[in-house]
Structure 1
Amino acid sequence: MTKPHTTQHDTDIDALRRRLLVATLPHVPFDGWSEAAMRAGAADAGLDMAVAMNAFPGGPLEILELFSIEADRAMLERLERCDLARMRVRDRVAAGVRARLEYLTPYREAVRRGLALLSLPHNTPLAARLLYRTVDAIWYAAGDTSTDYNYYTKRLLLAGVYSATVLFWLNDHSEEQAQTWAFLDRRIDEALRFGGTMGRAAKKVLDLPDRLFVRTPRPGRVHR
């Protein structure tokens, strides 16, 4: 497959967007993912607000999306330094969740503010898209190659594990977040047990004869 051509303009825009993200992050704990934080970040970066809006036409939500994408990228970079081949699959998945949260630790309040914003009903599609991107990246790094019902089951279960772990992590003040990692291990063990049950049930359904899924035509309406 031919790689898309990257121009100097694309590179400059990406660099500008990252620069604005870095400048905006310190203001998020106080102003949330808002236009005020975005404006303060632009000022700190020595940029006009019009330039910031041109880089992020979607406003603060688009900056939040880039923040999540950057966290995924950093997570994958950290995983590349791990000897994943020698790990069990469940340990690779745990390493992925842990790598992402360790990267996010300095930005914990920004994460909290981001979750609050994404929980609003009109932001549900973005929240789902970002969560899927994260769990898909973790499974990909873990070496998952499934293409059947397991593909969706694994991502659904990991989405639950990751979401629960993030909420626990936000309020964990234990040394080196030891309680979070213990919580993560328990959730993964539970997901594996539940996933095995789901997988067996799905396989039974998929193994049923096709004729059982043929719908009987509905009778036409009787006119009096």
Structure 2
Amino acid sequence: MTTQTPNAADRLLDAALMHVAFDGWSEATLKAAAGDCDMDPALARALYPRGGLDLALAYHRRGDVAMKAALAERDLSALKFRERIALAVRLRLEQADREAVRRGATLLALPQNAPEGARALWETADAIWTTLGDTSEDGNWYSKRAILSAVYSSTVLFWLGDESTGYEDTWAFLDRRIENVMQFEQTKARIKASPVLNPVLGLPFRLLESIRKPGAPAPMPGRWG
């Protein structure tokens, strides 16, 4: 087994994590990390052109990669699908540094950074569904990711303030949110199966079925069928 040597971007991100608790995802953190790595500031700027914002996004995407690797090592065959989703979210948070996430959430909540924050959230939801083998091709591709984005973001906010042992309250909160989603899916199925409700209330679902998922790796936008 060989050990892969971290590249310059990874080394810089690792060094930045030592400063995030004090300086947030900021220019000061980028400069301090470059100094810790004995890296030319010009190279550090080339690797993370937008400074702290790009560092925060790189850390977020690193978490997605770690989550997918952790899921790949698990035997999910005995789990219901809702349990697989809960496990994926839990693995995603358990490997994260809470202060780094807190600082990142603060930065990405700023109006000028909101599009990047929304994209990062969507990428996490997409990573979970794709890793779990989602095969949807229509509007369900979007609705699954939109709903999971809402579940994930609300769970993160709860987790950031959770002081319970082992974050037990967070995992209970997550289970409740997924239960809410399952209730919605059950209601949707009843509407689609009802000859009385489907002609009117089922219209939004029929419209969703006419939308196709993206044909390119970029998560948005899609196309009409």
Aligned residue pair count: 195
Tell me the alpha carbon deviations over residues 13-57 of structure 1, each in whole angstroms, 9 at most, x when there is no partner.
x71111100000111111111000111111111212222102112
Post-superposition Cα deviations, 1:121-141, rounded to whole Å, max 9, x if no partner, equal 111110111001000111112
Q: Does 1:97 align with 2:83?
A: no
Q: What TM-score, normalized to structure 1? A: 0.81
Give the letter aligned to residue 68 of structure 2: L
Partner of 2:74: 82
Give per-residue Cα distances to partners, 1:41-87, cap 9 Å, x unaligned: 11111212222102112221111111111000000111011112221
Q: Which residue matches 1:118?
A: 108
1:176 match = 166
**Distance (Å, rounded) in 1 between the aligned partners of 2:188 and 2:26:** 41
- TM-aligned CA distance change 1:200 to 1:158, over 3 Å: farther
Q: What is the root-mean-square deviation of aligned Cα atoms in Å?
A: 2.0
Q: Helix, strand or coil: the match of 1:26? A: coil
For 2:33 and 2:190, the matched residues in 1 are separated by: 51
Would you say the 8 A contact 1:150–1:199 is kept in 2? no
Q: TM-score scaled to structure 2, two decimals?
A: 0.81
Instruction: Output the CA distance in 1 between the equivalents of 2:82 and 2:135.
Output: 15
Letter of the 1:124 counterpart: A
How many angstroms apart in 2 are the aligned matches of 1:199 and 1:118?
36
| Residue 16 to residue 200, structure 1, CA distance change in 2 (3 Å) | farther
Secondary structure of the residue aligned to 2:33 is helix
Q: Which runs of 4+ in 1 moved over 3 A?
A: 195-203
User: Unmatched 5+ residue regions in structure 1?
Assistant: 1-10, 209-224
Q: Which string of whole-angstrom CA distances, capped at 9 and with x for unpartnered residues, describes residues 75-110 of structure 1?
A: 011101111222111111111100110010xx2111
Structure 2 gap ranges (5+): 193-197, 208-225
Structure 2 counterparts to residues 202-213 of structure 1, below 5 A: 204-205=202-203, 207=206
Counterpart amino acid of residue 40 in structure 1: A
In 1, the alpha carbon distance for the partners of 2:135 and 2:85 equals 14
Q: Kindly indicate which of the two structures has a greater share of residues assigned to helix.
A: 1
How many Å separate the matches in 1 of 2:190 and 2:20?
45
1:57 is aligned to 2:49: yes
Q: Which residue of 13, 17, 20 corresponds with 1:25?
A: 17
- Alpha carbons 1:21, 1:67 under 8 Å: kept: yes
Matched, 1:137 2:134: no
Question: Counterpart of 2:151?
Answer: 161
- 1:45 counterpart = 2:54: no
* CA distance in 2: counterparts of 1:136 and 1:180, whole angstroms: 22
Distance 1:73 1:125 in 2: 21
